[in-house]
């Protein structure tokens, strides 16, 4: 399984261009994982014509993802929860995900959701990112993903540290 994780991370890194390397490594890795989560997920009903990634108050991840996507999709840096109405992909830090005005955004269908933290993803997000020494792992809430109309690739699920 660790060999597949290395392949996944290398593939994520392959889409990076040199300006991103100046960003902090952790933010760049989170952005690359977010990008790959979308690539390996399918919207069952009403797939969006174009993805709209929303990064809530994390400028490092926002800058890294903007560089990775290079105008392939819209990326917005949210400063308030009420700005998320058009988001198809939402990323919340652990601090924001624990606040009610932000955590309610995790319940929206047709929105792929990613949060930081080992436990917060069980409260409504599809993916949880966990910082570990020298890497970031992820957990998947497959039940919520299916309830909200998403099909997640088996290849990606093999890389998850935990599937809930």
Taking only the tens place, the pLDDT of each residue in 55-105 is 999 999 999 999 999 888 999 999 999 999 999 999 999 899 889 999 899
Architecture of domain 2-163: 3-Layer(aba) Sandwich (3.40)
Q: Tokens for 11?
A: 């593939």
Task: Read off the pLDDT band of 6 (50, 70, 90).
Answer: very low
Residue 36, pLDDT > 50, answer: yes
Looking at per-residue confidence, does 34 or 22 come out higher?
34
Residues 113, 145: Cα–Cα separation, whole Å: 9
Give residue 110's pLDDT.
83
Predicted structure pTM score:
0.83
Residue 151, pLDDT > 50, answer: yes
Looking at per-residue confidence, does 80 or 2 come out higher?
80
Residue 5, pLDDT > 80, answer: no
Give residue 106's pLDDT.
87
Residue 22, pLDDT > 70, answer: no
């Amino acid at each position: 399984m660790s060999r597949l994780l290395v392949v996944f991370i290398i593939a994520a890194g392959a889409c990076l261009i040199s300006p991103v390397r100046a960003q902090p490594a952790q933010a760049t890795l989170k952005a690359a994982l977010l990008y790959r989560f979308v690539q390996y997920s399918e919207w069952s009903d009403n797939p969006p014509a174009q993805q709209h990634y929303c990064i809530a108050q994390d400028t490092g991840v926002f800058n890294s993802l903007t560089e990775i996507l290079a105008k392939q999709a819209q990326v917005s840096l949210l400063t308030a929860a009420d700005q998320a109405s058009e988001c198809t992909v939402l990323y919340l830090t652990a601090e924001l995900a624990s606040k009610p005005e932000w955590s309610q955004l995790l319940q929206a269908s047709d929105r792929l959701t990613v949060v930081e933290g080992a436990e917060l993803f069980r409260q409504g997000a599809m993916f949880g990112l966990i910082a570990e020494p020298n890497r970031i792992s992820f957990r998947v809430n497959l039940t919520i993903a299916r309830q909200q109309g998403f099909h997640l690739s088996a290849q990606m699920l093999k890389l998850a540290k935990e599937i809930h």
